């Protein structure tokens, strides 16, 4: 059998985003639908940094009866050089029901107490960042009372 290389992770950026008031749509397909706007923030990494563009960024969530959140997260970043990055991620956040209830109340909860992970694709037209278009990315997330943080890695 052929031996395949083990994947490695390389940190690309940390995004710290502020959140707007969630828009509660109600019950759909056995879950609660809500849209959470990402209203601003910034990102920094070893090779890129910049800001999150408000008005083009949100998390379309489905909250299952057990409290698990499934996120369809789409946000636009702009580097300090003016390049635009479109990030599309699929996330899951789950944990002990008591911990999820604390998150739902807006409390600050240590990210080690729950699982918040996503897989993402990044698109850009910037020639110097072309490698982002070819990457497979994963993120580890954490939620606070005022925002969300994602550490994003490329799988090598």
Phi then psi for residue 44, to 5 deg, are: -145, 140
Site of tokens 């944990």: 95
Cβ–Cβ < 8 Å for 76, 86: yes
Instruction: List the structure tokens of 87.
Output: 């990030």
Which domains, ranges and CATH numbers included, belong to the chain?
Answer: 9-155 (2.40.160.20)
Render each residue's pLDDT in the chain as its tens digit; 156 residues: 899 999 999 999 999 999 999 999 999 989 999 999 999 999 999 999 999 999 999 999 999 999 999 999 999 999 999 999 999 999 999 999 999 989 888 888 999 999 999 999 999 999 999 999 999 999 999 998 889 999 999 999
Answering whether pTM is above 0.85, one says yes
Would you give the DSSP letter of residue 6? P
Cβ–Cβ < 8 Å for 12, 48: yes
């Amino acid at each position: 059998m052929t031996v395949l290389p083990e994947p490695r992770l390389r940190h690309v950026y940390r995004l710290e985003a502020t959140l707007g008031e969630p828009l509660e749509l109600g019950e759909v397909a056995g879950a609660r639908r809500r849209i959470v706007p990402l209203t601003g923030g910034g990102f920094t990494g070893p090779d890129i940094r910049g800001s999150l563009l408000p008005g083009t960024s949100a998390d379309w969530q489905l909250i299952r009866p057990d409290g698990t959140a499934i996120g369809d997260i789409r946000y636009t970043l702009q580097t300090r050089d003016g390049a635009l990055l479109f990030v599309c991620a699929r996330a899951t956040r789950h944990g002990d029901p008591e911990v999820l209830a604390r998150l739902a109340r807006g409390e600050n909860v240590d990210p080690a107490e729950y699982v918040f992970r996503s897989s993402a694709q990044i698109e850009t037209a910037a020639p110097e960042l072309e490698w982002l278009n070819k990457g497979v990315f994963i993120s580890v997330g954490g939620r606070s009372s005022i925002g969300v943080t994602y550490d994003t890695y490329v799988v090598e």
